[in-house]
Structure 1
Amino acid sequence: MRDMTTSTAAHTAAAVLADSTAYAEAVGTAAKAAAAYYATGESSLDDDAYDRLVRGIEAYEQAHPDEVSAESPTGKVAGGAAVGDVPHTVPMLSLDNVFSAEQLRTWAASLERRIGRPVERWSVEPKLDGLAIAARYEEGRLTRLITRGDGSAGEDVSHAIGTVIGLPDHLAEPVTLEVRGEVLMTNDQFEQANTARTAHGGAPFANPRNGAAGTLRAKDREYRVEMTFFGYGALPLPDSDTACAGQLTDRPHSGLMEYVADLGVHTAAATLVAPRTVTTVEDIEARVEEIGALRPQLPFGIDGIVIKADLAADRSAAGSGSRAPRWAIAYKLPAVEKVTTLLGVEWNVGRTGIIAPRAVLAPVEIDGSTVGYATLHNPADITRRDLRIGDHVMVYKAGDIIPRIEAPVAHLRTGDEKPIPFPEACPQCGSEIDTSEQRWRCVRGRNCRLVASVSYAAGRDQLDIEGLGVTRVVQLVEAGLVGDFADLFALTREQLLGLDRMGETSTDNLLAAIETAKARPLSRVFCALGVRGTGRSMSRRIARHFATMEHIRAADAEALQRVDGIGVEKAALVVAELAELGTLIDRLVETGVNMTEPGATPPADASEKDAADAVVAGNAGPLDGMTVVVTGAMTGVLEKLSRNQMNELVERAGGKSSSSVSQRTSLLVAGENAGSKREKAEQLGTRIVGPDEFAELVADFLDRAAA
């Protein structure tokens, strides 16, 4: 648990309250933030700041028990400030929190002391970042949705029935019961919700939870927004028959959730972070570590892991307090979402001339690192989100993903915020800007960032020209010897010897590397062109499909759409890009650069009836039609291959490379320390092979992979 414990160190720090005045102010701030959080999702504090404030309040109250305020958030069910008039049949409690492995072990030991025996089995599941609701079914039909409210009564939001994916209108059996769970927005639903909201003149939601809270309560909107439900529990209602009540109260928690899923209710069982039962606290810690590592890959938000005593007898013996059950705890993960201030916007020019905005932020600690910048997609995105200099903004970061701004926290605006100025000329060279597409571009295109463009072409995953680093490219450009990367193949020995720090040996080595690069396969050459809308994987697919550069250039948008992963918009962009690059490609051909893909043949004539189903001979390999994921460290003959070369090998052998395991994965190549991907493949029943077995399978293609 080293990484998780270290990363939560800052998260566990509580606000220090010096005196009764500071305590009263903290209680007032927390009460207002909680009221907004549970009513509309628009809290003035992010989760991490709220948690630290509440822990500070708890610490003060422990030291001054005679000063505890009736308004204090401690001792209350989360959401206690929210109003509601529909009574819960059984109190809808929240969970207590722990923030470290040590706190988890202390809690588990206290639970076992309370029940007088070791806990035989634990259930470990994701803590979903949404709104808790109770869904009541009568004889199998969904009749009512109720928020948690203050735990005793909640708000009726039954008008949302039909908009929540995962809550069927009718169960598989005509039973009467209540299912409890979280309503949230997935990442895709959040983007769709903000698109619809801004199109109808509304401010974008700050984050998915904000979106779910606002949408769940909204009535009579002009547009429809979907949400997703994940069940985490169920209980009988007064009208439930005896058999159903027994199914719900006597089962282990894990069995109860299987029963709920069999009824047709959505649970987390099919996700990467599926609930799991374990027998020791050490196993809990390991699963916490696994779920934390998987967090960046999830299509929805989690803010922790819930640990529960699985057996009904253990839960009954432990009982519940006034605000939380004693048999469950939430292990909170470090925040990946914080509120900070947008100080400004920088406009950077990429290697293809794309002008990309970058947000400059007041530095904020997120997930163990200090964030001072965040990505912004394009000017249209800035306009759609209505971002302004001086805005409080919700910034999201998970794992190694570049931080991004989700939206401004509009309710915190003071009126002093200012519009973001857009550039009127290229920030790099001062030329005009092409604003005809959402992503603005310098009219000089690649020539605006010539060094970056040539360096990219010479890179390891493209032409792999050893000895041609950025410094050398700068030297060649400044000397007037290179105006695009085709000029590399026309360099002479005399020209290179005339440069500073270029002796005979380094000159001969560079010329040899350039000569070797001429023989790279078409997929590498195409990737070196830096066609917008394509990358390494897409370049390989295009090269395998068309086999020669001549056929690629002759293809229209319709023909390009026959390549897996290319849609209408991308096809049109690729056609336009290839027309723009025509002169460069002609010069590459003249210098003798290879323009064919080994083992591939052109598709059938597009006019033929079966043209859409044509495949290249290179696809008729041992992996034909298979989706393959490579993970872990390769050994044996595969040891020296980079991950990109492994993906090339997969695709040359007829397969499709992928970076994540899913239901569509046909084969997992698992090297040393394969980790969570192997575990997911085992759960799905996916075929798994080691490096040696895979090398035998694709032996006929190994020589080409190293090219």
Structure 2
Amino acid sequence: MEQESMFDAQASAALTSDPAARVEALRREIEHHSYLYYAQDAPEISDAAFDSLMAELRELEAAHPELIDASSPTQRVGGYVGEQFSAVRHAQRMYSLDNAMDLEELDTWTQRTVEAAGRPVEFVCELKIDGSSIALTYDAGVLAKAATRGDGVTGEDVTVNMRTVRDVPLRLRDEGAAGLADADGSVEVRGEVYMPKASFDALNAAAEANGKAPFANPRNAAAGSLRQKDPKITKGRDLSTFIYAIADERAVKAENQWELLQWLRASGFHVNPDVALCATPGEVRAFCESVAEKRSVLPYDIDGVVVKVNSFAMQRELGFTAKAPRWAIAYKFPPEEKTTVLRDITVQVGRTGAITPVAELDPVRVAGSTVARATLHNLDEVRRKDVRVGDTVIVRKAGDVIPEVLGPVLSLRPEGARAWEMPATCPSCGSPIVREEGEAAFRCVSMDCPAQALERLLHWASRGAMDIDGMGEEIVARLVESERVRDVADYYSLTEYELATLETGRTNKEGEPIRLGSTIAAKLIAAIEASKARPLARVLFGLGIRHVGKTTGEQLAAAFPSMERLMEATEEQLAEVEGVGGVIAQSIRAFFGNEDNREVIHRLGRMGVSLEDAAVHDETPQTLAGITFVLTGSLTESGMTRDEAGARLKAMGAKVSGSVSKKTGYVIAGEAAGSKYDKAVSLGVPVLDEADLLRLLEAGSLEAAGIEPRD
């Protein structure tokens, strides 16, 4: 039987004569019932009764617009906001966690933690939700900001979209507000945004019915929904949250994690009920084992258990490494394994011409997403696993991410199943494929292979290379099919009109072709223009030279800071570069020895793509030449990432390393510096802080910055 409303009819009539009081009373009642429904899963009234309360509140606010404020339940969906996704700096860094990949590693960590504490330790175990991290900031109890994790220091502003998520309180409940250390202060809480399995399945079913590509897994769906430009789309995606942490525990009256979870629940947040307070490492292990057994029946995806030291005081004692807290760890479940039928083995052509066999499978859900294809790597791997068309095979996701075929179930092998052989010709261009001596991969060596062209173009536009935002596989494929783009230099001759009129391959209800449109075209042209200024190292990586990855690209750019000098370097000169060697030098020389490749590079230069590093263009004095720096910890004062700081040091001639040795010149230690700082101290390597770094970058040399040069 439905319980009575918080406010009886007589009280309601009395409040009607005072609209402001009635509005406030309705908001309180709606917040109360939202809390019971979304956070406690214990509704007291029917949906119809709840809708009636909302309707009355909307009517009153429409009649008295001066009473509307951002914390009202009616304001969960606002209009379009063009300045969404601006940068937001977190109150404290959002750290990632170290992983325990099996129960033995978990036992080792809990025992080590007890030993480090020197006394008994209580642990809190929480389910590791497979979603997207979020930070919610409340000022004086009212939701003021929501931000993604980003790089841990700076995230993206998604406040408008998070207001649409029903289990996020727009203001703290009275019980929670009373638990703040400062009632008028700011508090940043943290948790995970996720999409329930049922909602994910419904979303993908709707996408496929409309001819759209489905999401790969609920985690990607949640992250994508959170970054929609239209908050009404986010609202329709049925997102949920679990909140479990706080940026600064001093902001609340709680002494430990267990008390914090109670405060979060009292404040109105959705807190996962599957948590445990464990007095011993043995209890921690038992909880993890029990959760692993029931993970498949939970209504949301998890990929492990997070184990934390309960006491905040003890957490502060244990501290942090450069990347993670020492007082918490993520126990990752063993990869989930399923069986399915291998229907075919096809091959795909990579950007370097490598021919990769791919298992075509009956779709099966593994670790949160549907798997229908999995790489088999190469012919040797196919033979080693002895997988054949028609086999029932065991499938899992390596690290819960990459699908892989473990092998066949031999007892279910059909009669007459034959061993698979690599085709003799490229499936894309029909050219013969070859296998070089000593290599596992077969390759198509034709420079005119369309499949390689597509992969090379996608690689050039990818985030790690030239980062042409929005230039995805669908658009690139259409550009190649329409012969608007044949090589990477062609990107820079595209016009906004060409992109706007590009057919997407889909049609509208009237059967007319759907074109890309002027809005997307304008954004792509802007992204292409911005890519012209990328550093030389990224250009080298983007070119797809065999064996040249990001690190090798940086080493080559440091040794030859202009494309012209690099193109003319001999094989011997290239081999002398640290990290290059004979094999890579031969590959680079062969690439630049190809006239077609050189012509593409010359065209890039003519189109305005930067083919020189800033150190050459600006003639930056190489005052740090020959000095090795190591950066550790977070650079909080300047807002720079370590990569950005490293790039500025390299522009002055320095070498930036990831490890500390006696040959290291200086270690720059930011906030929460870890083992590299300790090693520098033990080796007697000078340690600089962030203020020293900023002074050095500003002054241009060690001497001018007042830093004593090391002998």
Instruction: Tell whether the structures are fold-level matches, with TM greater than 0.5.
Output: no
TM-score, normalised on structure 2?
0.41
